[in-house]
Amino acid sequence: MSKPGIIKPEIRYILYFAVFWVVFLGAVTVFFGGWDSIKTNPNQQLVSHTRGGATEIELKANRQGHYLANGTINNQEVTFILDTGATTVSVSESIARKAGLSRGRPGRAVTAAGTVDVWSTTIDELRLGDITFRNVRGTINPTMDPDMVLLGMSVLGQLDFSQKSGVLTLSQESP
């Protein structure tokens, strides 16, 4: 007969077993969740280099072959998707609100999803690593994914870029 308040050895074994698996599965989830995040955006911590009077950033392609990079718009942290097919920087309405962007003239834009209504805007400051752009032409697109920012040619056109072996090097000459 067992004493009141003391757990039987069989039940203690089952509890240890259950706690082990909960801790193990939690650790695996945290590990692989971080790993998947790095595979989706391998450029979460941008490192800039200065070579011969130019600032360079090297970006690795993600597993879909896209180049993503963390940066800021008006000090609001964002993730950029580099898009040479986009004329301007295109920002979701959610990010525009957080970054304090105001709607300008209405317009229409042709996107992969079809023609959509957009508003022009001017981004006071856009940062990508140690490269800063001021007074950047952009659009606010209310149909975009809320966390999406397309880094278009209004910024990319101010950079030299080259691609080799899944690495895109962005370079800006110092003024």
Q: What digits encode the pLDDT tens for the residues 50-79?
A: 888 889 999 998 888 889 999 999 999 999
- Distance, CA of 117 to CA of 168 (rounded, Å): 31
- Distance, CA of 54 to CA of 175 (rounded, Å): 9
Contacts of 141 (CB under 8 A, 6+ apart): 90, 91, 92, 93, 109, 111, 116, 118
Q: What amino acid is encoded at 13 in this protein? A: Y
Instruction: Report DSSP state, residue 38.
Output: H
Q: What is the largest CA-CA distance in the chain?
A: 85
- Two tokens at 109? 């834009």
Tell me the three state secondary structure of residue 50.
strand
Torsion angles phi and psi, residue 157, rounded to 5: -65, -15
- Distance, CA of 131 to CA of 34 (rounded, Å): 27
Rounded to a whole number, what is the distance in angstroms from the first to the last CA of the chain?
A: 85
- Two tokens at 17? 């077993």
Contact 152, 158 (CB under 8 A): no
Q: How does pLDDT run across 104-158, given as a tens digit for each residue?
A: 999 999 887 789 999 999 999 999 989 999 999 999 999 988 888 999 999 999 9
- Two tokens at 134? 């001021």
- How would residue 88 be classed by pLDDT, with cut points 50, 70 and 90? very high
Contact 63, 166 (CB under 8 A): no
Nearest to 136 by CA among 120, 118, 157, 122: 122
Q: What pLDDT does 63 receive? A: 85
How does strand 89-92 pair with strand 149-151?
A: antiparallel
- Distance, CA of 156 to CA of 175 (rounded, Å): 17
CATH (one of 2.160.20.10, 2.40.70.10, 3.40.50.920, 3.40.50.10490) for 48-173: 2.40.70.10
**pLDDT exceeds 90 at position 27:** no
Q: What pLDDT does 114 receive? A: 87
